[in-house]
Structure 1
Amino acid sequence: RFQLTAVVPENWLAISNMPVKSETKIDQGKEVRFGTTPPMASYLNVFVAGELDSIETQSGGVQIRVITTKGKAEWGRYALESSAKILQYYNDYFGVPYPLPKLDQIAVPGGFGGAMENWGGITYFESVLLFDPEKSSDNTKHDIFAVIAHEMAHMWFGDLVTMAWWDNLWLNEGFASWMGTKCTAHFNPQWEVWLRKNVPRDPARRVGIAKEQAMEGDARSTTHSVQQPIVTEAEASSAFDDITYKKGQSFIRMLESFLGEDVFRDGIRRYIAAHKYSNSTTADLWNALAEASGKPVGEIAASWTEQPGFPVVKVKRGDNGNISLSQERFTINFKNAPPLRWKIPLTYSVAGQAPTSLLMTNKTAELKNIPADRALKLNINGTGNYRVEYDGSSWNLLLKLLANLSVEDRINLLSDAWALVQANRAALSLYLGLVEKLPSSTELAEREQVINVFDFINRLLIGHPEREKFQGYARSLLRPSFDALGWDPKAGESANAGNLRASLIAALGDLNDPEIVSGCRERFQKYLANPKSLPPDLRRPMFAVVARYADETTWNKLHELGLKTTSIEEKQNYYDALAGAIDPKLAKKTLPIALTAELPTSRALFLVSKVARQSEHPDIAWVFAAANMKALLAKADALAANSYAPSLFTFFSESARANELKAYAKANLPASSAREVVKAVDEVEFRSEFKQRLTPQLIAWIDNRPSLQ
């Protein structure tokens, strides 16, 4: 228990975990005494003070406030309304009401990046809490709700029940990621949150669905188990990665699907009730779920949380109506990986039949009496944390059925096919053949899967003479979706349609589509005359396209707009756009901004990373970073400091750069960076090998497309 006191100027608002118990005027200002907390971990204590504004509401007898710097309180209205709904949902789900008398959502300006689940006083970077209805996009609304839902889940999972040690960090973060996504999906099903792309925590990984980001890293030699030994502070810091958050989340979702929602919730309620106001371990959670379900949850979970990696299930059809299944470890760029086995909660369906499930506990299993002309789909809706490698006849049957599958199943097939290509288990023609047979649609998540892959290929081919040929091919596949949507929002269209329009503008702009580039320039000029002419959802992608092909006059105008705006989101949009200018002179002009006070500290630090990725000049970005590393790292926390220099190499595709990083690390980086260096070296080596393997297959495929002759 903690009983805290703060001394602050008289006109300041002081905030801690509990409500103010008393205020006493003193010579230095005032002494603010807060109520005594329940038993809790010391890392959850919070103090915030300043000249602040607030708005508030009540939910279930709990005071909820959004607290901001002066003049920004009304931008917290959406967060306030969302917090009240989320609190009621969690009170019901967990079966234990929120135990504190108040909950403050605090928007922190400056260098704080992200959010922290301090009990009763959650702190957020302003951009993930404040929403300006006139200038913020629908994506921002989603991000705010999702981050709040994640942090509020911690009020139970992390705060009321706290991990016994950092080796159980995934209990906090994996569960909060799953619970926050489940809550967001409950209130906003139209957002398709399980399929929504998000930014990876690990700079070596790529944008995509959370589960796919985790699997991408988990297939490498640099992965680790979800539950891992933690001894040093550096190990604790590096544990805040996509494996902890997103593999943890994905496994919990798979386990919930296997046990059933009601049984799973009963187990969670048992766990919370048994361990509230105390510490727990992963084993405690498995025991509670086993009691609720009557199933050996601990045995199933051990293979997913206590060992690294994940399986691929291979499907082979026989002549007698039987299908043999076999599992092995799935790896990318990982020779001689130790063989492992999993207890896999398989789901599958045969065309025309109801879905069914199977717990695959051995290396092999068999499905019987499957008609030879019926397609078999494993991993229904992609909820399982495994890949599927079908044999040729099984792929052919699925291709015929593709238009009739759910969008979740189509995305799962696309993701598996692309992963198989990366792992050298399939030719590129498998993935591109799937893409070309997709039904014509404007499904956001499905198109974004293709956009993300094409973006990776486009950047992998920087400097390659055949890059322009690929860009033309990619445009031919993406343009029909954009043409169906058009430039301008239509009355009554879904938010997802607007988000896809924005994604397609950005993607086609990167692919040098002349109509998209000229259209963005034209609309930017109209925006300069009348900012309301450009909907908030389209500002970020259009600024990016305009800046990408900008001359110095246009760059200067965007910079001027970034300096002048008071909108948090607009400022970030302008500076992100500047980082994408492909003119080398403008890339060099953008980089020094990172050393100024123009951006919040944490955002300024990663401006260099954005130049490395978006401008197509990672070499220019690295030369600048190496020359200014001390000043840049002064803006970083411990986690960012360890990964910063290595992360800048992950945009290179030449194997020589891996050796350059090793030499730089040996001479300049502390031992605490070693893990990040190994991950970055692995990524550079993979990109180099994959580029050599991919390019001839890609060009041969494009050359054989009749429509492109």
Structure 2
Amino acid sequence: MAGITPVNYELKFEPSFHNFKFNGTETITLNLSKSTNSIILDAAELTIKKCHAVQGTKIISAKPSINEKNERLTIKLAKKIKGKAKLCIEFTGILNDRLLGFYKSQYKDKKGKTKYLATTQFEAADARRAFPCWDEPAVKATFDVTLLVDKHLDAISNMPVTSKKNVGSKILYKFGRTPIMSTYLLYLGVGEFEYLYGKLRNIKIRIVTTKGNKNKGKLSLDFTKKFLGEYEKYFGIKYPLPKLDMIAIPDFAAGAMENWGAITFREAILLYDPKTSSTRTKQYIAEVISHEIAHQWFGNLVTMKWWNDLWLNESFATFMATKIVNKFYPEWDLWDQFLDDAMLQAMSLDALKNSHPINVDVKHPAQIREIFDAISYDKGGSVLRMLENYVGIENFRKGLKHYLAKHRYSNAEGRDLWNSIGKIAHKPVDSMMKTWIDQVGYPIVVVKRDNSKISLTQKRFLSDGSRVSKNKWAIPIQIEEGNYENSILMKSHSSSVSLKNKDSNFIINSGRYGFYRVQYDDHSLANLSLLIDEKILNHVDRWSLQNDLFSQCISGTKQLQEYLDFTTSYHDEDDYITLLNLAQNLYYLYKLTIKEKFSDEIRTYTVQFLGTIFDRLGWDSKKNEKHTDSLLRSFVITALGKLGDKEILGEANKRFNKFLKNKNSLVADLQEPVFVLAAWQGDKKTYSKLLSLYRKSTLQEEKIRFLMAMCNFKQKNLLLKTLALSLTPDVRSQNIRVPIMGISANIHGRDVLWPWLKKHWKKLIRKFGVGNPLANRIVASVGGVIDDKQERDVRNFFKRNPLPGTERVIEQTLERVRIRSKFLRRIKKEFI
């Protein structure tokens, strides 16, 4: 690549739904700083028909050769060239069904007729499957796209259509030239679309769907307008394209993709039906739309130089998505949910020895797929939240604005961002952030109080309880003592701080802004438990204290009985994340110990705790109740039912039977718990009903609800039926993980899933395709159904059936299994 710079790609594609292939031609305008007769590009799964170079008026013949393994196309020119030149290539490719590159998506129209559309997913390194290019983020160029399609089809790309003309039986769509951008952000879409139109100033906004679905795009159109305008305000930089399309795709591996000006989504994340969509879906649609719009600046306007800085894109969009949605919908308590979801996911993964730093070394495309995980998205987002709190909200915003203005239409690295924020805030941001970005894991701060002195010691927190001494972080520590607050940046292994008053209570990391856990001495913790009981502590701190304590039970620092005793302080609790996290922890303990003699003791305590929450919430929503009540209700009803609460199970059955007679009798928020519990106590007849409902449903969100329910039977033969269904055309390849993850979470699926996966592995791979990001979810689900005695079996299986890009996930999954097995052995000792 050295010495060769692509300036512009002129691309023409002609996709065909008769043979699922496409013809392509491209002319790449190049600058060559050195004389050369060899040009190497990225290309995969393409057949090169012809190629030549043009310099001035001279045509230079060329010979192509593709190395399939390395995905490289080498073009040997008949003579050396230097300066400005054009490279012309004619090629054909496949509209594959693996949900990457230029691929086909299949769906049925209202009359049940099978239809196809062609769409693209180029991130991380799959533009090379559509056209030869320099397929890396730092090699930016402009793109002129033309699509030749059948008369009844529409075409979409990143820019608006500049001309349309008939060519024989086809239409030639020509699109405007894109801004300078990376290959992974290019978009091509061909199909029978319909549109819902909107506008923000002179920016044309469209919700794009398959025929008959545009009315379900109204909510998304509203969100798009609101959030786009708010991002412009926040960054102080106008959205730079003349249009923004939000496109619902029937088959889509990820949740959504931020192609510049043409964002693609799974249908279930863009289409909303007030009759059948749940509160959770509405919230999720808002978050994902906000996330993808954030990328239009952070990722598209300014792009990371290489994939080791992927987190810059993803964690930033994760953080900003929450901030912008929260501005419009503060009653959703999104920052609280961010803590209980994003931060805990990240902390769980980062407490493994097999985690990885945020800034991770990436050599080849398969490794890139592995790092689209909770570290790149959620840990990064949490660390940004910690940084914003450390430098102040306004300094943080000004730093971002400075960074985006400085690097627009170009590439940047993490340190460029820290320099911008540090410069504005006059704080050591770069040196502090290095400790969080470049090293794996996070600290636990051990706190000991002696009168008015507190000593702090930091060490890496690991869920397996092992000790690693060398890690050190620059930790922004906040100590709250009544109304008095003290902040330090703790850079050494240990530190000591004086309190104002030797009798006062204190709390560290109030609001859990810092990405670390705290372990208090027994006396300080006992004092805090009294403040929880009286609700003197704020809700985030009440959530955080029990969460830290539970993680210390898992790592073996504390005994489970200490945690259970501590939870008695929460009998009067009414906060969403605190109740949810406590309920999840207790339910997890019940599932973990279900085969043990003392299981009843834990079950009784869990039922009692969940029962109190249910008594407050009831089955039906109340007028003006909190947004989060409906989210909590769903979990509590499902858990109580599975714990064997007869009244809950009876009511669920009653409501299910009523639903079968009248679909409108059951509100969307209660459908999942009711269907799950109908299956839990159901039989073959119930299974047939759910399967029939699944097949008849046309809305993706609804379909997934029925599919999830079919993972919740107790009978092994019915669970095997659900798994068998996942291999049929009835389940889209994008949803293949749903039955597998659902059965992995079912205590009755423990003996079923792993033998089935081994037996049908090759069929599964054929269905979802090598290189599909869903593979990691499927591999991780194995962890839910095995114990550490089966580790060797799992290792041997994946040795015989290697799947590139899942190696790290296999290690993480097995480590989690060892931690869980060890935890169970400790609980047994404690309770027997």
Q: TM-score range by the shorter chain?
A: over 0.9
Distance 1:349 1:338 in 2: 28
Distance 2:777 2:421 in 1: 40
**Shift in Å at residue 334 of structure 1?**
5.9
**Shift in Å at residue 335 of structure 1?**
3.3
Instruction: Say if 1:605 and 1:635, in contact at 8 Å, map to a contact too.
Output: no
Q: Let me know the Cα RMSD of the aligned residues.
A: 1.7
**Shift in Å at residue 455 of structure 1?**
3.0
- Structure 1 pair 330–639 and aligned structure 2 pair: CA distance change class (3 A): farther
Offset from partner CA, 1:517-567 (integer Å, 9 cap, x none): 111111111111222221111111111111112111111111111111122
In structure 2, give the amino acid aligned to 1:322: K
Q: Is 1:385 aligned to residue 515 of structure 2?
A: yes
Q: Residue 268 of structure 2 corresponds to which residue in structure 1?
A: 127
Q: Is 1:448 aligned to residue 585 of structure 2?
A: no
Specify the SS of the correspondent of 2:285: helix
Distance 2:641 2:627 in 1: 21
**Shift in Å at residue 615 of structure 1?**
5.0
**Shift in Å at residue 694 of structure 1?**
2.2
2:354 to 215, 219, 222: 222
In structure 1, give the amino acid aligned to 2:690: L
Instruction: Say if 1:587 and 1:615, in contact at 8 Å, map to a contact too.
Output: no
Instruction: Say if 2:459 and 2:469, in contact at 8 Å, map to a contact too.
Output: no
Q: Residue 529 of structure 2 corresponds to which residue in structure 1?
A: 399
Distance 1:573 1:642 in 2: 21
Instruction: Say if 1:593 and 1:604, in contact at 8 Å, map to a contact too.
Output: no
Distance 1:40 1:88 in 2: 22
Q: Is 1:676 aligned to residue 806 of structure 2?
A: no
In structure 1, give the amino acid aligned to 2:359: Q
Q: Kindly, what percent of the aligned residue pairs are identical? A: 34
Instruction: Say if 1:618 and 1:648, in contact at 8 Å, map to a contact too.
Output: no
Q: Residue 408 of structure 2 corresponds to which residue in structure 1?
A: 276
2:792 to 659, 662, 675: 659
Q: Which piece of structure 1 moves more, 23-32 or 674-683?
A: 674-683
Q: Residue 704 of structure 1 corresponds to which residue in structure 2?
A: none
1:342 to 470, 473, 485: 473
- For these two proteins, the number of residue pairs brought into alignment is 688
Distance 1:355 1:22 in 2: 63
In structure 2, give the amino acid aligned to 1:659: R
Q: Residue 266 of structure 1 corresponds to which residue in structure 2?
A: 398
**Shift in Å at residue 599 of structure 1?**
2.3
**Shift in Å at residue 469 of structure 1?**
3.4
Distance 1:645 1:273 in 2: 41
**Shift in Å at residue 642 of structure 1?**
5.0
Q: Residue 3 of structure 2 corresponds to which residue in structure 1?
A: none
Q: Residue 515 of structure 1 corresponds to which residue in structure 2?
A: 647
In structure 2, give the amino acid aligned to 1:326: T
Distance 2:638 2:202 in 1: 46
Distance 1:212 1:555 in 2: 35
The answer to which structure, 1 or 2, has the higher relative contact order (CA under 8 A, 6+ apart) is 1
Distance 2:488 2:597 in 1: 49
Q: Residue 50 of structure 2 corresponds to which residue in structure 1?
A: none
**Shift in Å at residue 508 of structure 1?**
1.1
**Shift in Å at residue 646 of structure 1?**
3.4
Q: Which piece of structure 1 moves more, 588-597 or 361-370?
A: 361-370
Distance 1:639 1:70 in 2: 27
Q: Residue 332 of structure 1 corresponds to which residue in structure 2?
A: 463
In structure 2, give the amino acid aligned to 1:305: I
1:498 to 619, 630, 650: 630
- Structure 1 pair 217–302 and aligned structure 2 pair: CA distance change class (3 A): same
- Structure 1 pair 569–415 and aligned structure 2 pair: CA distance change class (3 A): same
- Structure 1 pair 188–56 and aligned structure 2 pair: CA distance change class (3 A): same
Specify the SS of the correspondent of 2:489: strand
- Structure 1 pair 499–674 and aligned structure 2 pair: CA distance change class (3 A): closer
Distance 2:583 2:369 in 1: 32
Distance 2:539 2:147 in 1: 54
Q: Residue 536 of structure 1 corresponds to which residue in structure 2?
A: 668
- Structure 1 pair 582–466 and aligned structure 2 pair: CA distance change class (3 A): farther
Distance 1:119 1:193 in 2: 26
Distance 2:676 2:537 in 1: 35
Q: Residue 117 of structure 1 corresponds to which residue in structure 2?
A: 258
Instruction: Say if 1:40 and 1:160, in contact at 8 Å, map to a contact too.
Output: yes
Distance 1:487 1:670 in 2: 45
**Shift in Å at residue 254 of structure 1?**
0.2
Distance 2:268 2:468 in 1: 41
Distance 1:21 1:173 in 2: 32
In structure 1, give the amino acid aligned to 2:275: E
In the alignment, structure 2 segments of 5+ residues that lack a partner are: 1-141
Q: Residue 98 of structure 1 corresponds to which residue in structure 2?
A: 239
Q: Which piece of structure 1 moves more, 148-157 or 622-631?
A: 622-631
**Shift in Å at residue 257 of structure 1?**
0.5
2:706 to 574, 582, 592: 574
Q: TM-score, normalised by structure 1?
A: 0.94
Relative to total residues, which structure has the larger strand share, 1 or 2? 2
- Structure 1 pair 111–180 and aligned structure 2 pair: CA distance change class (3 A): closer
1:22 to 163, 176, 182: 163
Q: Residue 636 of structure 1 corresponds to which residue in structure 2?
A: 768
In structure 1, give the amino acid aligned to 2:657: Q
In structure 1, give the amino acid aligned to 2:372: F
Specify the SS of the correspondent of 1:566: coil
Q: Residue 492 of structure 2 corresponds to which residue in structure 1?
A: 362
**Shift in Å at residue 674 of structure 1?**
2.4
Distance 1:480 1:425 in 2: 30
- Structure 1 pair 342–251 and aligned structure 2 pair: CA distance change class (3 A): same
Q: Residue 389 of structure 2 corresponds to which residue in structure 1?
A: 257
Offset from partner CA, 1:138-166 (integer Å, 9 cap, x none): 11000000000111100000000000000
